[in-house]
Amino acid sequence: MLPAVPAPLLQGASNFRDLGGYGTASGQRVRRGRVFRSDHLAGLTSEDLARFQQLGIGHSLDFRGVSEYTATPYAIPGVQRVALTIEPTVVARMQALVAQGIEPTTEETVDLMRETYRDFVNRNADTFGRFLKHLLAQPTPQVFHCTAGKDRTGFAAALLLSALGVDRATIEHDYLLTNQLYRRDPRLEGKGPAHVMKVLWQVQPEFLHAAYEAVDAQHGGMRDYLHGAIGLSPQELTELQRMLLEG
């Protein structure tokens, strides 16, 4: 049975949650209080900052592009920000189409998002590899995020949970929680047709499935992808599991 929707942990970040508690194929569980995922952290309240201290979070792994970080920077006392920059290419593609007077349909927008997730797998593997290696290198709790905590963050969470042995149905459950938790912010979204923006600022199973299809068809499955393009050795994978699984 899948867990219920988590209660909000922070006031100033709507999509912040603990990745712990999920079961694995081996019968173990992902440790709670070790790795958190989130939307951007620029709106944290003083109470939220105190909560960060209580959680012991020492590093924030930030997948946002340069202009995104410039628009909503943050500095959290005691937390080191690590830039794992992946530029939001789907927004640039959409803006280019609109500039040409082309209004994409809902289906075309979904296709653009699927292409974005294939790019995560094939073009951004090095960055996601650095993400997993940073989790390995730092013993303190960590949080990773992008702007909405849905796409770059969603794929990173899927990758981590896959490495820990969580099944894809459970990973998809965690992925889709964004649609219940994330509070859309028009100031961050830019302008575009309502049907397009709805696709861009929510998540759909088809997006994640596109990433899985690329992993399976082009990389021989998740384990080969982790050891190949992601660059995690068998020993590092075992150590990651030792660190982040109970028992």
Catalytic residue of the set 146, 148, 158, 171: 146
φ, ψ at 181 (rounded to 5°): -105, -40
The amino acid that residue 16 corresponds to is F
| CB atoms closer than 10 angstroms to residue 3 | 12
Buried b (16+ CB within 10 A) or exposed e, 186-220: eeeeeebeeebbebbbbbeeebbebbbebbeeebe
CA–CA gap between residue 65 and residue 177 (Å, rounded): 23
Look at residue 62 and give its three-state secondary structure. Answer: strand
Look at residue 128 and give its three-state secondary structure. Answer: helix
Tally of CA atoms within 13 A in the half-sphere of 93 that contains its CB: 16
Catalytic residue flag (residue 69): no
- The residues carrying an active-site annotation are 146
